[in-house]
Amino acid sequence: MKTTQSLFATILLIVIATLSIHTHAQEVIELNKQQFLEKVWNYETNSDAWKYNGSLPCVIDFNAKWCGPCRQMNPILNNLAAKYAGRVVIYKVDVDKEKELAALFGITSIPAFLFCPVDGDPRGTMGAYPADEFEKLIRTVLLGEKVE
């Protein structure tokens, strides 16, 4: 009986620890057009000026499944999404599925990234980056930190 109780207690602790880890970790969130309009910028109702809808700054990764450099960036973005959870949101937009969004921002080469501070205009960049350089962009452009 004590063995069963000990086993049950151990399993319960593992489940609680796992839930705790997953509730604090953030993942890269895929956006379609409707979600983009709600979470980032509703250009259909506010087409004359950029107005970011989010409460946290974000990075939007414009990518495609067939793109090698895009696939290279996936683990980097996943790690940064977890590291900056609660401070920065990382979204991704599949340019093959969301052609209108890609065209809206003039995306002609991927991967392309849009850095959206809570206040101010977004800043775009293209190409794959090493993890440390991409993190510097997040820290300087979105969080306003001075990084050397």
Strand residue runs (E) in the chain? 29-30, 58-63, 89-94, 112-116, 123-126
DSSP 148: -
pLDDT for 3 equals 60
Determine which one of 28, 40, 60, 70 is catalytic. 70
Tell me whether residue 70 is one of the annotated catalytic residues.
yes
Q: Residue 125 pairs with which residues in a beta bridge?
A: 113
Domains and CATH numbers, the chain: 26-142 (3.40.30.10)
Q: Is the pTM of this model over 0.95?
A: no
Mean pLDDT of 98-111: 97
Question: What percent of the chain is predicted at pLDDT more than 90?
Answer: 79
31-62 pLDDT, tens per residue? 999 999 999 999 999 888 999 999 999 999 99
Single out the residue of 74, 101, 77 nearest to residue 89, CA to CA. Answer: 77
Separation CA 55–CA 145 (nearest Å): 18
pLDDT for 2 equals 57
Determine which one of 60, 67, 76, 81 is catalytic. 67
pLDDT for 25 equals 66
Helices and strands per DSSP (H, E), number in the chain = 5, 5
pLDDT for 8 equals 42
DSSP 50: -
Asked whether the predicted pLDDT for residue 11 surpasses 80, the reply is no
